[in-house]
Amino acid sequence: MPKDRKRPIQPEDIYLLRTVSDPQVSPDGKRVAYVVSWNDRDSDEIRMAVHVAPVDGRQPARRFTQGTREHSPRWSPDGRYLAFVSRRGEKNQLFLTPLDGGE
C-alpha cells in the first residue's frame, strides 16, 4: 500500500500511540512539565516518562526522566527543581531534581 494512502487501524498500532497527561506549568509560566505514557510491546505494560517543554514552543520538548515509570511532576516554588514519583523496584519513590540537569 502506498505511504500516502490511508489504511484501517491495526491492533499493533496501539504500541505507536502516546498519551500526554498531568501538565504542570512552572511558577514563572515559561515551561510545562507533563507525563508521556505508552504501551510497551515487549513487557505489555504501560510506561511513563516526564517531559519538559517551553510554553512558547521555541525549543523542542525534552525527556526529563530516564526511567519508564515516572509520573506526577511538580515544580518547586522557585521553579529551579522538579519533583516526580518514580517506581524503581517494588516501591514508588519521590525524586527532586534540578531543572537544569534532569535525571
Residue 6 maps to a domain: no
Domain that holds residue 36: 11-98
The cell numbers describing 95, all together, are 525524586
Task: Report pLDDT digits (tens) over 45-100.
Answer: 899 999 999 999 999 999 998 888 999 999 999 999 999 999 988 899 999 999 88
Task: Report pLDDT digits (tens) over 30-58.
Answer: 999 999 999 988 888 899 999 999 999 99
Question: Given a cut of 60, is residue 103 above it in pLDDT?
Answer: no
Number of domains in the chain: 1
CA 72 to chain centre: 10
Residue 42 maps to a domain: yes
Residue 4 maps to a domain: no
Q: How far apart are CA 27 and CA 5, in angstroms?
A: 45
Residue 80 maps to a domain: yes
Q: How far apart are CA 89 and CA 85, in angstroms?
A: 13
Predicted pLDDT of residue 14 = 85
Residue 59 maps to a domain: yes
Predicted pLDDT of residue 24 = 98
Residue 74 maps to a domain: yes
Predicted pLDDT of residue 29 = 97
Contact (Cβ atoms closer than 8 angstroms) between residue 53 and residue 37: no
